[in-house]
Amino acid sequence: MAEVRDRIREWWDRDAGTYDRSASHAMTDPVKAAAWRAALQRFLPDPPGRVLDVGAGTGALSVLVAELGHRVTAVDLSPGMLDRARAKAEAQNLEIEFVVGPAEAPPTGPFDAVIERHVLWTAPDPVGSLRAWHEVAPEGRVILFEGAWGATSPIGRAREAAIDVVRRMYGMPPDHHAPYDPEILSWLPLARLDSPRPIIEAAVEAGWRAVRLYRLRDVEWAQRAGSPPILGWLERVPRYAIVADA
């Protein structure tokens, strides 16, 4: 597990320099930011609450949650990513606590809510991570922002190839510094998901209760609206929030 974690951390540290060139990652598009802020406000408890943002990356959601009046603790395996998040918080005079560490070993709670966005697919032990989040939010809730990203079918692979071609036509650089290591992907149980079912099952196994599934149609629309026409259509994927109580 230590070797896997080290390789994952190294990949994301290298990616810290390019991650925010995507408006979706950096949340620099005001329409996308507004759609995500509305989703967070919908599912989070009333402020001020204590919120743990797991896999916070460069701090896009952490900043939005802090803007809504919550006390945020942002944890990420990558120091390089958190350096970027810390700079954003300082630029906006937001008080956010930053902790370098793995998803399966979160800071001590109690938290009123635990959130993550597109993180569980990178977890070598997603059930263990979800169980650890349950322990630090024993009377709270978990909010999992995910999407159906899988492209294992021939149609899915053809769509990804078309996306690459169209992005090159528009002169758009890739969203990441390099493709994810296939060997690392083989160690991740939730990589390449095309359905929320495995995440829901993992949450239930980890002890979370009353699991609800919500489609994030405003977020999907904002993503398409901020992309060139053909690319917005090709890159559309179902995005959803899975919410559960401890």
Contacts of 56 (CB under 8 A, 6+ apart): 62, 74, 75, 76, 81, 82, 85, 98
The pLDDT value given to residue 166: 75
What sign has the CA pseudo-torsion 233, 237, 238, 239?
Answer: negative
The pLDDT value given to residue 163: 74
pLDDT average, residue stretch 224-246: 87
pLDDT average, residue stretch 29-49: 97
Write the secondary structure of 38-66 as one string of H (helix), E (strand) and C (coil).
HHHHHHCCCCCCEEEEECCCCCHHHHHHH
- Higher per-residue pLDDT: 236 or 188: 188
The pLDDT value given to residue 177: 84
The pLDDT value given to residue 151: 59
Q: Has residue 155 got a pLDDT over 70?
A: no
Q: Are 153 and 193 in contact (CB under 8 A)?
A: no
The pLDDT value given to residue 43: 98
Q: Has residue 213 got a pLDDT over 90?
A: yes
pLDDT average, residue stretch 167-192: 85
pLDDT level of residue 204 (50, 70, 90 thresholds): very high
pLDDT level of residue 12 (50, 70, 90 thresholds): very high
Q: Are 243 and 142 in contact (CB under 8 A)?
A: yes
pLDDT level of residue 180 (50, 70, 90 thresholds): confident
Q: Has residue 156 got a pLDDT over 80?
A: no
pTM to 2 decimal places:
0.93
Q: Has residue 165 got a pLDDT over 70?
A: yes
pLDDT level of residue 208 (50, 70, 90 thresholds): very high
Q: Are 113 and 47 in contact (CB under 8 A)?
A: no
Amino acid 6 reads D
Sorted by where each begins, the domain ranges of the chain are 2-245
pLDDT average, residue stretch 27-53: 96
Average model confidence (pLDDT) for the chain?
A: 92
pLDDT level of residue 153 (50, 70, 90 thresholds): low
Q: Has residue 160 got a pLDDT over 90?
A: no
Domain 2-245 in this protein, CATH class: alpha beta
